[in-house]
């Protein structure tokens, strides 16, 4: 048995039995056996089952949110919002089975039509920062498209996935359609990647592990989608509403204690506005409430683990000066204060690597061309923001930044109805929106000879 810890207290929250290769193979076999019947469930019935599942999750929302808040160390208000998104994901994709998806194409001597067929057994491998939310972005479209799944949660945060498996069964999802296997990435994850009966891996996690998964999947020509790391730019022009940009910037990095692939951890500020922006930013960072995840007012909790805290600390005091430092509790818990480095060069390690903690780098820029060049000077391309009152410039810069998800005068990234995913080494494939369904189906073309 291994202990699952509560990062705010460093106490054990639960014990789980990690699976090995044999248990993983058994889960894949269950999923494979369940596939023919699940894909044959009539569209309206599959839609109804997914709606029932959404309702069941909704009913368990507070319990799931509390479990997630305790296990990840995230503020309970955030965890509640995330569970809302889990419910919304299932409601959104519940509409998919009854939506038309094919084409009819007139061709010589007959007609061709296309169908979108499910893939079979899909392996879902997810990280610890948004455990059930990210799982739901994969589960909902995969199940709606008629696949069966084996879900591997991260070692540090398996609890809501286990609850989900139980809720799915109770909601009437047939046995074997959803299988959760808890265990090490190098054992369970790797086996799913290698397994000949797994048709696809949908992965969210680090770029390093994602690279290994793409390599491993090549042996069986498995389909792969990868949602990986980020080092996104929050570009603030001098003509922006600086008060609003500065008020919003802290949570664009420090939400989930900075353990967010969409974190806008490089804040690019036009030189003439740096002083005004930093004054407003300091006020906003100092007002942040860092503390007990289960307190209603808490905005930032601890980091996930001692190892993560050590890694985050290694970026502070290295190249750039610490300009702003917020507060964090003393004593037990993996706390780290919200920290802003300024001025940072885009060549500094803090600006190049994904820190995955509450450390923001402020990088001054001269003009629009330099802002675009610096924003794109990274191996990543996941999210980003542009703050300006000049609409034409906003669109020009949005088109020029090599990134999958951008916001203008806002720092939000994720909506159930819009595609989410990365450019460059932030991955490939898209989750959410109608696009996700393409990644859980194959296109089949059928030619019907009509004789004329
Ligand atoms: P990780 O890559 O270490 O682990 C992710 C998952 O992969 C875990 O379940 C882990 O057990 C498993 N895994 C590890 N080694 C494996 C292997 N060899 N084969 C198969 N599976 C393996 O990532 P993490 O530390 O859990 O999460 C943090 C990372 O996730 C960050 O880099 C972050 O940017 C990224 N992330 C990306 C997104 C996105 O949508 N782009 C969202 C959240 C997190």
Pairing of strands 121-125, 110-118: unpaired
Every domain of the chain with CATH number 3.40.309.10 lies at: 233-415
pLDDT band at 386 (very low <50, low <70, confident <90, very high): very high
Residue 318 is a catalytic residue: no
C-alpha to C-alpha distance for 222 and 45, rounded to whole angstroms: 29
Classify 158 as helix, strand or coil. coil
Give residues (CB < 6 A) around ligand 1.
125-129, 134, 152, 154-155, 185-186, 189-190, 193, 204-206, 209, 212-213, 227-230, 261, 354, 356, 382, 422, 426-427
363's CB contacts (< 8 A; 6+ apart) are 266, 267, 268, 269, 343, 344, 345, 346, 351, 374
**Per-residue pLDDT at 421 exceeds 90:** yes
Residue 270 is a catalytic residue: no
Ligand 1, atom 20: closest residue by C-alpha: 189
Query: Over the stretch 321-380, which tens digit does the pLDDT of each residue have?
Result: 999 999 999 999 999 999 999 999 999 999 999 999 999 999 999 999 999 999 999 999
Contact 317, 364 (CB under 8 A): no
C-alpha to C-alpha distance for 354 and 356, rounded to whole angstroms: 6
Every domain of the chain with CATH number 3.40.605.10 lies at: 2-228+425-449
Contact 237, 408 (CB under 8 A): no
pLDDT band at 127 (very low <50, low <70, confident <90, very high): very high
In order of 11, 71, 154, 301, the CA distances from 3 in angstroms are 9, 11, 13, 20
Radius of gyration of the chain (CA): 23
Q: At the fourth CATH level, which superfamily is domain 2-228+425-449?
A: Aldehyde Dehydrogenase; Chain A, domain 1 (3.40.605.10)
Give the mean pLDDT of the chain: 97
Contact 104, 111 (CB under 8 A): yes
Q: Please state the rounded mean pLDDT for residues 437-448.
A: 97
Query: Over the stretch 159-202, which tens digit does the pLDDT of each residue have?
Result: 999 999 999 999 999 999 999 999 999 999 999 999 999 999 99
pLDDT at 153: 98
pLDDT at 100: 80
Q: Please state the rounded mean pLDDT for residues 237-260.
A: 98
Closest to 382 (Cα-Cα) out of 336, 413, 408:
413
Query: With helix as H, strand as E and coil as C, how does 32-45 read?
Result: HHHHHHHHHCCHHH
Q: Give distance in angstroms: CA of 388 to centre of ligand 1.
A: 34
Instruction: Indicate the fold that domain 233-415 takes in CATH.
Output: Aldehyde Dehydrogenase; Chain A, domain 2 (3.40.309)
Q: Please state the rounded mean pLDDT for residues 45-67.
A: 98
Q: Please state the rounded mean pLDDT for residues 78-105.
A: 96
């Amino acid at each position: 048995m291994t202990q699952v810890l509560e990062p705010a207290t460093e106490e054990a929250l639960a014990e789980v039995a990690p699976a090995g290769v044999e248990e993983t193979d058994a889960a894949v076999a269950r999923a494979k056996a369940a596939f023919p019947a699940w894909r044959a469930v009539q569209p309206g019935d599959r839609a109804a089952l997914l709606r029932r599942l959404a309702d069941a999750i909704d009913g368990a929302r507070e319990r799931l949110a509390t479990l997630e808040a305790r296990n990840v160390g995230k503020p309970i208000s955030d965890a509640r919002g995330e569970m809302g998104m889990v419910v919304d994901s299932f409601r959104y994709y519940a509409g998919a089975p009854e939506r038309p998806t094919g084409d009819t194409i007139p061709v010589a001597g007959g007609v061709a039509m296309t169908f979108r067929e499910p893939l079979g057994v899909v392996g879902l491998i997810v990280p610890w920062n948004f455990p059930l939310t990210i799982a739901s972005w994969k589960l909902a479209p995969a199940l709606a498209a008629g696949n069966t799944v084996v879900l591997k949660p991260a070692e540090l945060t398996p609890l809501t996935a286990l609850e989900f498996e139980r809720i799915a069964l109770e909601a009437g999802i047939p046995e074997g359609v959803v299988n959760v296997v808890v265990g090490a990435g190098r054992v369970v994850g790797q086996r799913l990647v290698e397994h000949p009966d797994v048709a696809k891996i949908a992965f969210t996690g680090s770029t390093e592990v994602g690279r290994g998964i793409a390599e491993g999947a090549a042996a069986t020509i498995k389909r792969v989608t990868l949602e990986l790391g980020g080092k996104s730019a929050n570009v603030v022009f001098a003509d922006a509403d600086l008060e609003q940009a500065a008020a919003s910037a802290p949570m664009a990095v420090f939400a989930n204690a900075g353990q967010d692939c969409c974190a806008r951890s490089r804040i690019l500020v036009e030189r003439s506005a740096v002083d005004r922006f930093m004054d407003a930013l300091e006020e906003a960072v100092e007002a942040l409430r860092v503390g007990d995840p289960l307190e209603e007012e808490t905005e930032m909790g601890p980091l996930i683990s001692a190892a993560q805290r050590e890694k985050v600390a290694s970026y502070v005091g290295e190249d750039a000066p610490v300009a702003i430092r917020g507060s964090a509790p003393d004593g037990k818990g993996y706390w780290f204060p919200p920290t802003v480095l300024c001025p940072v060069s885009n060549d500094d390690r803090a600006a190049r690597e994904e820190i995955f903690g509450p450390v923001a780098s402020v990088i001054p820029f001269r003009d629009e061309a330099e802002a675009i060049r610096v924003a794109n000077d990274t191996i990543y391309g996941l999210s980003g923001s542009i703050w300006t009152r000049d609409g034409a410039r906003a669109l020009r810069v949005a088109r020029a930044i090599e990134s999958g998800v951008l916001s203008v005068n806002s720092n939000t990234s994720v909506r159930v109805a819009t595609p989410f995913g990365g450019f460059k080494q932030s991955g490939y494939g898209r989750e959410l929106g109608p696009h996700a369904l393409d990644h859980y189906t194959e296109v089949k073309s059928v030619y019907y000879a009509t004789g004329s």
